[in-house]
Amino acid sequence: MNNQPIGVFDSGVGGLTIVPHLLRTLPQERLIYFGDTARTPYGSKALSTIKKFTEEIVEFLLEKNVKMIAIACNTVTSTCLEELQVKYPQIPIVGVIEPAVKKIIGTAKENAKIGVIGTKVTIENKAYSNAIEKYGKYLTVYEKACPIFVPLIEEGLIDNEITDLAVRHYLRDFSEENKIDYLVLGCTHYPLIKKSIAKTLLDVEIINPSEEMVYGIETVLRENDLLAEKPQKDNIIYASDLSPNIINMIKSMFTDKVRVGVKNFDLLIEESPHF
C-alpha cells in the first residue's frame, strides 16, 4: 500500500476530464495535476519542444513525490511515453492511448469504421491506427486533425456557436463521405465539447479515452501494490498560467476538494485557499 499521490499532467486543462473518473473509481487516492496552460497547445509544436516541456513537467511531479505518473495528453503519449518509461524506470508511467485502443478492440465489430480526431502531432504519428493494427483486428480507421479545438476550449468557448461551427467544419467528412461507426476523442480536451460533437455525428458511438484511462491506472496501482491504504485529502491542481478562464473551468468541474496553485519553472507560488 502507498499513500503518495498520483501525478497526472496534460498540455492544458483537457486532462482534467480524467480526474472526476479517477476520483469516483479510486476515491481513496490523492491527485496532483499539472496543466501547462502557459504553453498550450502542444499539438502544433516541434517534437524537440514537446519532449523538453514533458521532461520538465515529469521532474516537477517527481519533486512532489508522486508514486506513478499518468500522461493525460494524447500528443505526449504518442511522442514521449516510451522514452519516459526508459528514462524513469523507478516509477510507473502510463499513457492515454492504449486503454482507449483496448476499448475499441473489445467493442467494435470486424469491418467497423473508426474515426479518430486529435491534434496535428497525434494524427501525423498515426498513434491510434498503429496501436489498433497491432491487435490484428480488421478495422478501417479514418484520422482527422482538429487543431482549432484545443485553443477554443482553453478560451472557455465550450457551449458556443463558434465551437459548433468548428466541429461541423472538421467532422463533415465523418458524417458524409466516410460515415463512421465509432469516434475516438483522441485528445483529452475534446470531452469538454462532446455535446457539440454528438450533435454533429448522430448515431455514432463516442469513445472517451479519459474514462478508459482510469482502468489502466487502477491496474498499474494494483499490480505494483501502490493503492492507497486509506482515503487521502487535498487534491492539488497546478497550472503554468492561472488565467480567469482556467479558474472558471476548474470551478465548473470540481468542488472544494481541490486546491489550485500556479507553477512556472522559476517560481512556485503558494496554493490558494479552497474554493
User: What radius of gyration do the chain's Cα atoms show?
Assistant: 18
Residues forming CATH 3.40.50.1860 domain(s) in the chain: 6-96+211-269, 97-209
194: pLDDT strictly greater than 50: yes
Least confident of 127-136, 158-167, 239-248: 239-248
Answer whether 0.85 is exceeded by the pTM.
no
In this prediction, residue 14 has a pLDDT band, given cuts at 50, 70 and 90, of: confident
For residue 169, the model assigns a pLDDT of 93
pLDDT, tens digit (0-9, with 9 covering 90-100), for 220-233 = 999 999 999 877 67
Q: Which of 97, 187, 193, 197 is catalytic?
A: 187
265: pLDDT strictly greater than 60: no
In this prediction, residue 270 has a pLDDT band, given cuts at 50, 70 and 90, of: very low
In this prediction, residue 273 has a pLDDT band, given cuts at 50, 70 and 90, of: very low
Tell me the fold of 97-209. Rossmann fold (3.40.50)
**Mean pLDDT score across all residues of the chain:** 85
Task: Match domain 6-96+211-269 to its CATH number in 3.40.50.1860, 3.40.50.2000, 3.40.50.720, 3.40.190.10.
Answer: 3.40.50.1860
Least confident of 46-50, 209-213, 265-269: 265-269
80 is catalytic: no
pLDDT, tens digit (0-9, with 9 covering 90-100), for 27-57 = 899 889 998 988 888 888 899 999 999 999 9
Q: Which of 16, 26, 70, 73 is catalytic?
A: 73
